[in-house]
Amino acid sequence: MHAHRMMLEDIEEEDFKLIAIYANLEPYKMAFLLNRYLNLKLMRSRFDVDFNHKDVQAMYALFTYKDLSSYRDYSLVSNKFKGESRKILNAGSLFLEEEVRPLEVNLILQYKKVDFFLKIEENIEDQQVHQLVSQIGRIPQVQAAYKIHVDHLKSKQNLIFE
């Protein structure tokens, strides 16, 4: 019986464009604004993006839209998970003492200050991406938006949602 081996070169790199968005909003509000200003139809995904960061199970809100007319997939994902870190201080006494601290964990550590990423899959020209960035930048609640060069991302695998 022969074993089939898959070489790393055989795995096709996922081709997508990425836009970083700075907006101190709830994820559903950001999706609503993108729908309104970009004429998208982002909807909350059935499953959030979940990652285990050390001892924290982080969940990142995910909104998706498949544009059948242009054959593109749009994904809006939150870059920040806000939760609590619990640490047991004294377990040997009658009462359990634990310390609870607020915790923020990023999906893409390289871009800690970015609030959201808009991922666009399939063929899209750079000019169209720049046009999207410009439209997003005109949304009053958005502080800034810019294109990220995917080749420079260290944790690109965190943006594969399937």
Strands of the sheet with 62-67, listed across from one edge: 43-44, 62-67, 72-78, 116-121, 16-22, 144-148
Parse the chain into domains and list their residue ranges: 15-154
Quick one: what percent of the chain has pLDDT higher than 90? 44
- Global pTM value: 0.79
Question: What average pLDDT does the segment 21-35 reach?
Answer: 96
Q: Is the pLDDT of residue 38 over 80?
A: yes
12 band by pLDDT with thresholds 50, 70 and 90: very low
- Model pLDDT, residue 58: 80
Instruction: Give the model's pLDDT for residue 91.
Output: 59
| Average pLDDT rounded to a whole number, residues 119-135 | 91
- Average confidence (pLDDT) over 100-128: 86
Residue 131 neighbours by CB distance under 10 Å: 13
Class of 15-154 per CATH?
A: alpha beta
